[in-house]
Each structure stands twice: as structure tokens, then as C-alpha cells.
Structure 1
Amino acid sequence: MGVGGHEPGVAGLTDVRRLAALAETGLGAAADPAMDQVAEQVRRLLRAPVALVSLVSADGQALPGLAGLGEPWASQRSTPPSHSFCRHVVIGARSLVVANARLDPRLEHSLAIPDLGVVAYAGVPLTDATGLVLGSLCAVDVEPRRWTEDELDLLAVLGQGCSARLQVLIAERDADRERVRTDAAGRSLSQAFERSQLLLAASQALARTNDVDEIRSVVTDLVSGDIAPAYVGLSLTQGGKRLVRVDDPDQSVGPEPVDAVTTLDAQLPTALAVRERALQVFRDEDELAAAFPEDIQRAYRAVGLRSLACAPLWGSEGVIGALMFGWAGGRDLDPIEQVVLTTLADYVAHAVERTRFLQRRITVAHQLQDAMLTDLPTVPGLRLAARYWPASDDDKVGGDWFDAIPLRGLRDPSATEGDALAVSVGDITGHDTHAAAVMGQVRSMARQATWERPDGPPSAIVTAVERACAAVGTGASGTLIHAHLRPLPTGGWAMRWTNTGHPPLIVARASGAVEVIGSRDLLFGYPEFRKAPLRDHHTELAPGDTLLLYTDGLVERRRLDIDDEIAIAARAVAAASKADLHTLLDNLHQHLVGDVRDDDVVLLIVHIDPRPPAT
């Protein structure tokens, strides 16, 4: 009734399941381009002054789609219950058709008549996949009107398309939380409306895409059945002034017979869709001729396209491109097909924005990792090489690191002239950007502590780093080897190191022997659990010897014994040529890890010059 009094079935407005379904659509008192388009179609096809897509709650109705409605309602996109005819469609769960509301006892007192000018009304239910009525698609006239059967049939068909759009929105939100629910929604939607299967498949496939070329390919492969275009084109805006086409050389028709890069003001279907921000449909050559210059018409005819549809791609900050479909013959898209294409364009836009975000994230994260890793110094008497392989293919960063710092003053009194060297290899827990950020803090602290204590011992440096981490509250934990190498008159190098829970270091002797030195203390980051201070260990590296430091990603794998893997790595280093250390590390990683990475891997190799010291 729209005014006071008891209304049979009014409790249905507050049905918990119905309200949950309303929320799942994600629509409310804000414009939705697809819903506005449906409302405009109703207004145009039924020649009605006003058309609305109304979602009804107990507190009123939201209007995500409208055409022809006056102010202030057009801006507010909502009305209170006192101004809603559509609530009767929800309460009765059936269509409502009124020729003259002033003479209808159910509606004669509604404020929609004087305030909105509603006199004649025709509304059909909008339902979710289970049949719950969420609102109404309605046509409104400001004068008394007898609605014809053809008009009501057309309104019913448009209502089915609008319901399909709502059902797809609900299913898409379900898919983000639970794939199993998406499959169930897909089965339910396929029974309610066959074309919704296409949209669900598109939602799932596009969610897995990694770049715009893959998005382009997915759309081409998905669109089939009765819609099946001969050509699918994807164009994206660039810099707010250009439109760049993403070509697919595998298509039987195309590419589009126009420049791949054009301006947004060009007389082209894609540019027009971007400018108008609405679906553009050209059903045959006559409509193409009316809209575009002769050279453009001729170009499309040359590749066998006689009808086109272009849907704008709506991103978070506006239109970011256009999706074009071309057919070899004339094509008169019905309203539901137009909704399908518009919805598919929405999915493509979301996928484009997501892939662009991921690419930016990968680029920034990779730059972050590169900034944190060290350019190896040149040290007389030594050759150094290092490699880093991340576990994550998304961020390409992790918590593993290496460092090498030349130190003057860290020498034995009997040492020959030359730089001493501090080297570190560590593994901060985690395989993501957060782990990389913590790693960067620890690495910087270790450098500072090393410079402040150039004479060591390494155990004191690591202890100082642990204390600094605790004071700052980094939460850093993991494993670490920190070593000091200093030159000896013999041409060899004395090495002193400390190991906090890290895999053993490997020394391949010039004689062909190999040593795995595994003495270590408790993990880095847990000094309160140690029963004794960190220990320092000593060895000497002779000319021709090779030292390998690494993180556990090289040797730790499921169902394999880590000691066996370390032994394999040691034998490989001993047997390998030391002429090209970078190639040695690449081959070692490929031999033990291959292409399947469960963890970050860092390798740092130090080779002692086999030449005798100068006399």
C-alpha cells in the first residue's frame, strides 16, 4: 500500500536469507553502469518516461539502475517505503501491473504518486538463483496507461536478464570466498539461465590470468555458443589519451583492420564505447555506415565483419578500455545477450586491473630485493660469486640473503698486505615481502656491527645483531653464518666464523678432498634459550680451496634426507671446474633443485687464488 496498515506478507521484506542475498549483490544506492543500461532499455523499448531497477529492503528501496527519474531521487538513488510500489512485487512474489494508481485501493495513498509522479506502473520480480525476490524491474508512466501484452512480455524478458546479472554478481562474490560454493552456484544458475554459465566460466578463468595477453586469449576461447563472434578484440587505454589494441594472431579473423594504437577521439567502435561509457551495438552494415566514415566501413568489410558490439571496461577509476565482438553477418543482440556481453566486459576489466596490480607489485618487490642484495667486492687473492633464487613466483622476494664486506684492519700481525673480508649468508623465516623487509633490517644491522667490530670475533657481531633486533622489535628469526677471512703469508686465508642453526659450510680442497663442517649453535633470534654464548670456529683455506655457503633451500626437500643432499652438493662442488664460478652455482642449483622450488635459495662461493703469494 505504501502507507500505514497491515500488509499480508510484509514479513518477507525482513527474511534473513533474502537480505543476505541482497547484500551479496554488492549493489545499493549508487549507480551501476549495467543496471542503468537495463533501465534505459526498458524506458526506450516500452516508451515509458521512467524505468527503475529497484532492490527492496524493509527500510525502502535502492535504485542501482534508473532512467528518466527526476531530482532529488535520481541523485539519491533511493526512496523510503512510503514511495515504493516495488515493495509490493517483493511481498507478493509476483508481477504488479497498474493502469492508474490513483484508482487502486492498494496504492492510492502512496506518496510516490504526488512526489514521484507515478500513475501507471508495471513491475516484474528480480530473483536470486533460489527464487528469493530481491526487487523489481519496472516501467513507470506519469499518465494512466493500459500496458499491452507485448510490453509486459518484453518487460519479463528484460527482467530475466537483469535477474541473471544479479545472480552472477552473487555467484562472483561467493567465488572469492569459496570455490565449492561457486560450483554450486554455477549449477543452479545454469538451470535458471543458460548464458550465465558463460559468465561464471569467464569469472573463474579470468581470475587465474597473469597478463593481458592471457586475458585476451581466455575471452576468445570462452565466447562460444549462440553468441559466438568471429572476432574478439581487447583495447586498453594508455595515459588517458590513447587506446592500444591487444592482438591475438591465432584468431581466424583479424586483427582489427585499424591501427593498433589510436587516440580516444578516433572514429572507431572501441573509441566510441570508451567515450560514451556504454555498450555500442551496430547490427549490420547500414548501422556501421551511419556511424563511421567510409574508410572504416571498408576496412571492416575487408576482413569479413558486418556487425559489431563494443562494451566499455569499467575499472575502479573509470573506463580503462573496450571489449569488441565482431560477426561475419548481421547480428541483432537481444537485451539478455547485451547484459551477458556487458557483464563479461566487467570481468575482463577486473582481471586487467588485477594483473596490472600484480605486475606492479612484482616489479617493485623485485627492485626491493635487488636493492637489498650485495654487489660482490673485488678482493685480491679471492674470486667470489653469488646467486639468489626466490621461492615465490608472485613477489620474487624472500628472507634469504648474502653479504660480503671488505674490511681493513682485520688482519693478523703477520698477514700480507690486502683486504680482509667478512661474508654472511642468512635465512630469515618467510618467503614474502615481509620476510624481505625484515631481512633488510637484519642485514643492515649485521653490516653496522661488523664495521664497528672489524677485529671480531664473529660471535660477538651476531650477538650484537640479536640484541639490536630485540631492542627494535623486528621479530627476526632464522639461521645465519657470519665469517671473517684474513690473508696469510702462505697465500692462504684464515677463516673464523659462527653458525646459528645454519646448514654446514662446505670446503672443497685443492687436493680434491671435501669437508662438510657442521658445528653450529641454536637458531638466530633466540638468545634467551641458549645455555652458553655463541662459539667461534676456525679453519684455514689454502690456495686453490673453495668455500661454499648456502641456505637450506638448496638441500632440504620433502622425502629426501638432508644429509644425503648436502653430501651430493659437496661432491658436486669438489668435482666442478672453478674457472667460471657463476656457471658452477647455476649448475649446482639445477642439479639439486631444478625448476620446482619449495624455498628461497642463496649460494655464495669463495675461491682462493691458487697462485703462490708474491715474494
Structure 2
Amino acid sequence: MTHYSIDFSNMAEFSALAHSVQAALNCKGCLISIVHEDALVALGRPPEVNTAANRAVSARDLICAHTVRQGAPVRVTDIAKDLALRNTPAVAALGIGAYVGVPLRLESGEVVGAMCGLSSEPRLWTQGEVEYMLAVADLAESKIERHILRFEQRALSAALAETDAILSVLAELRDRALTVQNTDGDLVFANLAVRSQLGLSYLDVMRLPPRVAAVLEEGHPEAEMTLTVPGRGAIRVLVRVSPVKSGLILADWTVFNS
């Protein structure tokens, strides 16, 4: 399963949605969960799983994982007669006799979790109840989108601030030829010493990231290599490569004296 980043510090709005579904369906409880690696993490929960320790439950232990896999509403009138679900650990733990679930999707169409209704006894779930859950799921999906976006924006802002601080420090090291690239191989920084000491043009500097990537693939912190410089011919350089914070890779270039 995929990992979805979300801020779990304030889940009250999801619990309110879960309680509204529980009341409308007159059932044992409602669970709203989101995919998180190999687990489903409860956003809105019935009292039986209302502790922080039980918030994240292995996907294989929850019936909701079946709804996530199906990507469509699931209605089970009698869990005891369902060979695929009756041995799910959550069935015994929560005393589930019947189950109804609808998937939760992002705007991209990707299934991100599930909303389910639980009954202690076997029961017939009506189409009207499923449609009500789908309507509430729309609201839950918009809230999940907002939480994911908020989490990613905060993470991006922190990463950009950290990156800016790193590059500001490197810009002051004028006696060393330094380049910085990201893990995708994009050059994000090169100080003036790269051009003045190595004699490289702007286009030559843009060609350095693949050379750094090759050193990383070899698994060594440094390597000697030859660079072809227009007007100077071939020059021998030593490059020292080291990862820095925020997913950046620093390369320190030194020209061998002839």
C-alpha cells in the first residue's frame, strides 16, 4: 500500500463524521481510515478502537482493506457466512456481524482509504444507506485532501527554508569550487569558483550532475576524473561527494596542479 502524509494532530472533524454515520445507520460504529504503508490509520473511530495505540492497524487485520482493494462499495449482510472476511482479526475483536464500506478517493481517482459501518448482528444494508455513506464520503475526501495538502505545504516550506540556509552558507565559501544537486540529478547551485577555478562555461557546469551521479553509483566518497574544457583541453580534477540535508548532494571540486 502507498504512504499518504497527513497531520494526525486534529482528527475531531473525522470523528464527528463517523458519529454522524453511526447515528444515521443506527449501527455499532463507523470507522474512517486512511492508507499508511501496510496499515490503515483510523481518522474517525468507534469507541472500541478509540485509543492512540490502536489508531494504526495492520491492513490485513481490517475489513476496510477489502473495500480499499475493491475500490467500490462493499455490503456484507452476515460476516459469519463470508469465507473471505469472517476470519479477519477485527471481526472477532470488535464483534462484527455485518459490514458496509465505501472507498475514499483523492481527486486523482486514487483510493486513499475507506469509510465503513459496523453492525453487531447480521443485517441487510439498504441502497439508501450506501448512498448516504457515499455522500458523507465526499465530505471526508475533501477534508483528507486538505489535510494532505496542508502537511505537504508545511514539509515543503521547511525543506525550502533549510535548503536556502544551506546554499547561503555555501555561497560564502568562495575559495572552494562547489556544486549542489538534488537526488533527481538537477543542478540547484554552483558558486563562482566552479567557473573561475575549473574554467568551465555555464553549459559545462550544467553537465556536472551526471558525473557526480556516477561517483555516487560507485559508492565512493571521492573520485578522480577528466573534464574537457574549451580553450584549455583536458583537466584532471578530484571531486568529493557528500549528501547534505533536504535531499541535496554536495560536490567539492579540486583541480590537480599540472
TM-score normalised to structure 2 length: 0.55
Structure 1 distance, partners of 2:60, 2:114, is: 16
Counterparts of 1:155-170 in structure 2 under 5 Å?
Answer: 155-170=133-148
Counterparts of 1:172-187 in structure 2 under 5 Å?
Answer: 172-176=150-154
1:56 matched to 2:35? The reply is yes
1:125 matched to 2:90? The reply is no
What's the offset of the Cα at 1:57?
Answer: 3.4
* Partner amino acid, structure 1, of 2:19: E
Q: Which has the higher contact order (CA 8 A, sep 6+)?
A: 2
Structure 2 distance, partners of 1:109, 1:48, is: 21
Instruction: Tell me if the contact between 2:78 and 2:97 (Cα under 8 Å) persists in the aligned partners.
Output: yes
1:41 matched to 2:20? The reply is yes
Structure 2 distance, partners of 1:177, 1:40, is: 31
Structure 2 distance, partners of 1:81, 1:160, is: 22
1:440-470: CA deviations, max 9, x gaps? Answer: xxxxxxxxxxxxxxxxxxxxxxxxxxxxxxx
2:77 to 86, 99, 108: 99
* Partner amino acid, structure 1, of 2:7: G
What's the offset of the Cα at 1:26?
Answer: 2.1
Structure 2 distance, partners of 1:108, 1:172, is: 38
* SS class of match (1:39): helix
Kindly tell me the number of residue pairs found equivalent between the two proteins.
Answer: 156
Q: Which structure is larger by alpha-carbon Rg, 1 or 2? A: 1
1:74 to 50, 57, 63: 50
Structure 2 distance, partners of 1:32, 1:178, is: 22
Structure 2 distance, partners of 1:164, 1:104, is: 32
* Partner amino acid, structure 1, of 2:31: L
Structure 2 distance, partners of 1:178, 1:112, is: 37
Instruction: Tell me if the contact between 1:31 and 1:77 (Cα under 8 Å) persists in the aligned partners.
Output: no
Structure 1 vs Structure 2: percent identity of aligned residues? 23
What's the offset of the Cα at 1:83?
Answer: 2.5
Structure 2 distance, partners of 1:51, 1:31, is: 18
What's the offset of the Cα at 1:66?
Answer: 1.2
Structure 1 distance, partners of 2:55, 2:112, is: 16
Runs of at least 4 residues of structure 1 off by over 6 A?
none
1:141 matched to 2:119? The reply is yes
Structure 2 distance, partners of 1:31, 1:96, is: 28
Instruction: Tell me if the contact between 1:31 and 1:65 (Cα under 8 Å) persists in the aligned partners.
Output: no
Instruction: Tell me if the contact between 2:104 and 2:141 (Cα under 8 Å) persists in the aligned partners.
Output: yes
Instruction: Tell me if the contact between 1:102 and 1:108 (Cα under 8 Å) persists in the aligned partners.
Output: yes
* Partner amino acid, structure 2, of 1:55: I
Change (3 A) 1:177 1:114: closer
Instruction: Tell me if the contact between 1:56 and 1:86 (Cα under 8 Å) persists in the aligned partners.
Output: no
Instruction: Tell me if the contact between 2:102 and 2:133 (Cα under 8 Å) persists in the aligned partners.
Output: yes
Structure 2 distance, partners of 1:57, 1:176, is: 19
Structure 1 distance, partners of 2:153, 2:13, is: 20
1:228-262: CA deviations, max 9, x gaps? Answer: xxxxxxxxxxxxxxxxxxxxxxxxxxxxxxxxxxx
* Partner amino acid, structure 1, of 2:143: R
Instruction: Tell me if the contact between 2:72 and 2:103 (Cα under 8 Å) persists in the aligned partners.
Output: yes
Stretches of structure 2 that go unaligned for 5 or more consecutive residues are 158-258
1:126-160: CA deviations, max 9, x gaps? Answer: 11221111111111001001001111110000001
* SS class of match (1:109): coil
* SS class of match (2:50): helix
Aligned to 1:598: none
Change (3 A) 1:81 1:171: closer
Judging by fraction of residues, say which structure has more strand.
2
Change (3 A) 1:110 1:178: closer
TM-score normalised to structure 1 length: 0.24
C-alpha RMSD over aligned residues? 2.3
What's the offset of the Cα at 1:175?
Answer: 4.2
Instruction: Tell me if the contact between 2:73 and 2:130 (Cα under 8 Å) persists in the aligned partners.
Output: no
* SS class of match (2:26): coil
1:504-530: CA deviations, max 9, x gaps? Answer: xxxxxxxxxxxxxxxxxxxxxxxxxxx
What's the offset of the Cα at 1:49?
Answer: 1.3
What's the offset of the Cα at 1:174?
Answer: 4.1
* SS class of match (2:96): coil
Change (3 A) 1:169 1:116: same
